[in-house]
Amino acid sequence: MQNFEPIFANDGYRPNVGIIISNGDGKVFWARRINRDGWQFPQGGVSKNESLVEAMYRELREETGLDEDQVRIVAHTKNWLHYDLPDRLLRNQRRGKNFGRNRNRFRGQKQVWFLLELTDDDSAVNLAAGPETPEFDSWCWVDANHAISNIVDFKRSVYRQALSELGEFLPSN
């Protein structure tokens, strides 16, 4: 895996991993945030003591219930992909609200995206398997273009970049 150092640069972006899970038909895992109407791919922050791969597997377990032996890493983005948070979320940070698990001030996230292939059947997905309140309450398989069209605006360019780079590795291609 390429070296993405420095992971914890003082660049204003929180290090994060994004996870695109595909099935044998080239569809991608699409999940609805709990108590919200927004859908997205699994993603999450990187802890200081983790590699990007370790963070990806931890987030995968926490958000989908899938373990390392139920997926195969197909590819990952070559570089960090960045997005800035909208002003309304930045205002929440300034008021001291906890955005995610990191109370540090940041302007957005930098992400390395992983494309995984589910090697188990769909019944292996367990959204309530994580140690905390589930992130998602529903999931389905969709075409990659559906994800780009239906993600919140401020993440759309990152989703487009990640799927542009990794889409050639989807099983149907």
Question: Where are any strands of DSSP class E within 62-172?
Answer: 71-76, 81-84, 108-118, 136-142
Query: What share of the chain has pLDDT > 90, as a percent?
Result: 74
Q: How far apart are CA 143 and CA 150, in angstroms?
A: 11
Query: Tens digit of pLDDT for each residue in 72-116?
Result: 999 999 999 999 998 877 765 555 544 444 455 788 999 999 999
Residues in the chain: 173
For residue 20, what are its two tokens? 């695109």
Runs of H (alpha helix) within 86-152: 87-94, 144-150
Supply the pLDDT for residue 22: 98
- pTM for the predicted model, two decimal places: 0.89
Average per-residue pLDDT in the chain? 89
What domains can be seen in the chain, in order of their start residue? 13-169 (3.90.79.10)
